[in-house]
Amino acid sequence: MLPWKSIITINRKEIRPVYLQISDAVIAEIMKGRIQKGLKMPGSRTMASTLCLNRKTVLQAYDELMAQGWMEIVPMKGTFIKQSLPEVKQQSLGDVLEIKSEAQTNSSKYDMPRGEHVIDDGTPDYRLAPIDDLLKTARSVSKGLVGKSVLLGNHFFGEASLRNNLSDYLSTTRAINGTKGNILITRGSQMAIYLAFAILLSKGDEVIVGQLNYHSADKAIKSTGGTLVKVPVTPEGLDLNVVEEKAKAGKIKAMYITPHHQYPTTVTMPVENRMRLLELAEKFDFYVIEDDYDYDYHYNRSPILPLASIDRNGRIIYIGSFSKILVPSIRIGYMFASESIIKKCGELRMIIDKLGDPIMERALAEMLANNDIDRFLKKAVNTYKERRDLFCKRLEEGLKEEITFTKPNGGMAVWVNFKNINIQDLVETAQIHKLTLKIDVYEHTNKACRFGFASMNLKEIETNTDLLIKAANAVLSQ
Ligand SMILES: Cc1ncc(COP(=O)(O)O)c(C=O)c1O
């Protein structure tokens, strides 16, 4: 038996629950290649007595590993590390690519008149956001800081307390382990996306994206000199066989993904694919920009850990934001990457935005340290889960002959496929019914779209889905 007691170290002072500390440790060992696929895991009783823990905690950890796709039960034989995981070769840490410096819109949904009734494409309910708390904290922070250096500058990489606290937060919530040197604070994640491509790309470099993709990422790639290479999106995220094909030509410099919930289709990339993608990035020498815009919203279990948590070679540039927790006008996002990438992006950020917003950043740092953000998210997740359930039920009942969709396990939107209805017709007809569909209409498909459920309360969901169903029926009868 492996020396589990030395492999899995539990720190009871950590906020991250013990069962997740166990699953994190097992995943980390798999990624290091020290736990091989097909390994038989000890029974839960044995593991519990080895680690001096309650058996329930071990069972929870095993459930987590199975739910995330790392482990499987073989009937009559026991619990095993999944056979279908790709082989992991041990590799050294460090920077692998040479990094070069260099630097219309589909804004229809933003220009649309906003009626009384709105279904958007997946934004939080900003009425619930802890803005008063943030502003109160900012006021008290700024009082104590008048005349001090925090108001004067030298925050090229963002406010130090936020970088420190964020580093703890990322470690606790998603097993991304680093220091403040791995973190750059940005004006929202959009700036982080732009900076990443600006330092990576030279004119004509190819970047892989989903055939359907977050359009502002596409724009950032194009405006920093990149060429989009579009790859089909499957129910398991971007098609990795096609990615491999494209990468073989040797011109791919980077790839942009949203693996937690692919934007816009909401599909989740399973563990096997994440590992294979890391392998491909290594083999074909490209970076992966992991935009984790909605990691905090998950309804059934803990989410699959980000690729950044299993990256051993500095291939992943991880990007996150607080605009989906607070409000988009509080522009605080971040990048987590190797120190050399952070340094390059920080130097570039300084040219665009010298100082950031030190007071808001310090206030957010305090809210993270006091667990205010965590507490808020727990409430928001329960609220959004209820809204997701009602929204999906209403769609199912009202449009079951016309639509298909998979109920999302997290996020703030549902990707809906229509059989006969053209989305542009639906948007226009909905407007006549006093419902504004603040959604994107995609060039690649005119029969599918993203409906957000999180920004409406239960009563608004009832009213707005009634209007949506009426509009859909009106299109069908035209
Ligand atoms: C997939 C995705 N990435 C990034 C962003 C940018 O967010 P931010 O407000 O942090 O710039 C958004 C905003 O909606 C988004 O949907």
Q: What is the mean pLDDT of residues 71-94?
A: 73
From the CA of 333, give the closest atom in ligand 1. 10
Q: What is the pLDDT of residues 282-300, one digit of tens each?
A: 999 999 999 999 999 999 8
Q: Residue 136 domain-assigned?
A: no
pLDDT at 15: 73
Same domain for 173 and 315, yes or no, is yes
Tell me what pLDDT residue 339 has: 96
Asked whether 348 and 145 are in contact (CB, 8 A), the reply is no
Looking at 370, 401, 435, the residue that finishes a domain is 370
Residues 215 and 69 reside in one and the same domain: no
Asked whether residue 88 is domain-assigned, the answer is no
User: Is the domain of 357 the same as that of 290?
Assistant: yes
Mutate which of 106, 216, 263, 317 for ligand 1 pocket (most atoms within 8 A of beta carbon): 216
Q: Specify whether 320 is located in the same domain as 397.
A: no
CB 27 within 8 A of CB 312: no
Nearest CA to ligand 1 atom 3: 293
Q: What is the pTM for the complete model shown?
A: 0.84
Number of H helices, E strands in the chain: 16, 16
Which residues, in sequence order, are CB contacts of 400 under 8 Å at separation 6+?
A: none
Q: Is residue 128 part of a domain?
A: no
**pLDDT higher for 28 or 103?**
28
Mean pLDDT, residues 425-439 taken together: 95
E strands, 262-390, where? 287-291, 316-321, 333-336
pLDDT digits (tens, 9 = 90+) for 299-327: 987 788 999 999 988 999 999 999 988 88
Domain membership of residue 363 (yes or no) is: yes
H-state helical runs in 78-214: 108-111, 131-145, 160-174, 188-200
Q: Examine the domain organization and report whether 282 and 408 are in the same domain.
A: no
Structure tokens at 403: 């639509």
- Residues 311, 414 within the same domain: no
In this structure, the residue with its CA closest to atom 2 of ligand 1 is: 293
Q: Which domain holds residue 33?
A: 4-81
Looking at per-residue pLDDT, the higher value among 87 and 99 belongs to 87
What span, in angstroms and rounded, lies between the C-alpha atoms of 194 and 103? 9
Query: Are residues 365 and 298 part of one domain?
Result: yes
Residue 390 sits in a domain whose CATH number is 3.90.1150.10
Domain boundary among 370, 403, 438: 370
Q: Is residue 86 part of a domain?
A: no
Q: How confident is the model at residue 64 (pLDDT cuts 50, 70, 90)?
A: confident
- Out of 319, 338, 370, a domain closes at 370
Q: How far is the CA of 424 from the centre of ligand 1 (A)?
A: 23
- Assess whether 360 and 398 both reside in one domain: no
The reported pLDDT for the residue numbered 104 is 36
**What pLDDT is recorded for position 103?**
34
- What is the 462 CA–ligand 1 centroid distance (Å)? 27
What confidence tier does 275 reach under pLDDT thresholds 50, 70, 90?
very high
Same domain, 315 and 390: no
Distance between start and end Cα atoms, the chain: 69
CA of 191 to the centre of ligand 1 (A): 10
> Is 96 contained in some domain?
no
Q: Give residue 189 CA to ligand 1 midpoint distance, Å.
A: 6
> Phi and psi for 175 in degrees, rounded to 5?
55, 30
Q: Are residues 158 and 55 in the same domain?
A: no
CA distance 403 to 397: 10
Rounded Cα–Cα distance for residues 226 and 199 (Å): 11
- 80-115 burial: b if 16+ Cβ within 10 Å, else e: ebbeebbebeeeeeeebeeeeeeeeeeeeeeeeeee
- How far apart are the CA of 176 and the centre of ligand 1, in A? 20
Q: What is residue 37's predicted lDDT score, i.e. its pLDDT?
A: 84
Q: Which atom of ligand 1 is nearest to the CA of 191?
A: 11
* pLDDT bucket at 31, cuts 50 / 70 / 90: confident
Number of domains in the chain: 3
Q: Are strands 227-231 and 183-186 parallel, antiparallel or unpaired?
A: unpaired
Here the tokens at position 37 are: 């696929």
Mutate to test the pocket of ligand 1, among 187, 267, 293 (most ligand atoms within 8 A of CB): 293
| 115 and 170 co-located in one domain | no
Mean pLDDT of the chain: 89
Whether 137 maps to a domain, the answer reads no
Expressed in angstroms and rounded, the spacing between residue 446 Cα and the centre of ligand 1 is 23
CA dihedral sign of residues 436, 442, 448, 453: negative
CA 291 to ligand 1: nearest atom? 3
Ligand 1: which of 121, 323, 349 to mutate, judged by most atoms within 8 Å of the beta carbon? 323
Do 291 and 172 share a structural domain? Answer: yes
How is residue 73 written in tokens?
A: 């039960």
Within 6 A (CB) of ligand 1 lie 188-190, 214, 258, 263, 291, 293, 321, 323, 328, 333
Q: Do 124 and 454 form a contact (C-beta atoms < 8 A)?
A: yes
Find the CATH number of the domain harbouring 163: 3.40.640.10
Ligand 1 centroid – CA 292 distance (Å): 9
- Cα dihedral value 165, 217, 260, 386, nearest 10: 90
Structure token pair of residue 220: 């950032």
Residue 109's pLDDT band (boundaries 50, 70, 90)?
very low
Phi-psi region of 113 (alpha: psi -120 to 50; beta: other; left: phi over 0): beta
pLDDT for 154 equals 59
The bridge status of strand 316-321 relative to strand 183-186 is unpaired
Query: What spacing in Å lies between the alpha carbon of 320 and ligand 1's midpoint?
Result: 9
Going from the Cα of 316 to the center of ligand 1, the distance in angstroms, rounded, reads: 18
Per residue in 134-191, pLDDT (tens digit) is: 999 998 888 876 656 655 555 679 999 999 999 999 998 889 999 999 999 999 999 9
The two tokens of residue 381 are 């997740």
Q: Given the structure tokens 């004509």, which residue do they identify?
A: 204
287, 255 Cβ separation under 8 angstroms: yes
Q: Is residue 173 part of a domain?
A: yes
The pLDDT value recorded for residue 145 is 67
In this structure, the dihedral spanned by the alpha carbons of residues 357, 360, 365 and 370, taken in order and rounded to 10 degrees, is 180
- pLDDT level of residue 35 (50, 70, 90 thresholds): confident
**CATH number of the structural domain spanning residue 41:** 1.10.10.10
Q: What is the tens place of the pLDDT at every residue in 242-251?
A: 999 999 998 9
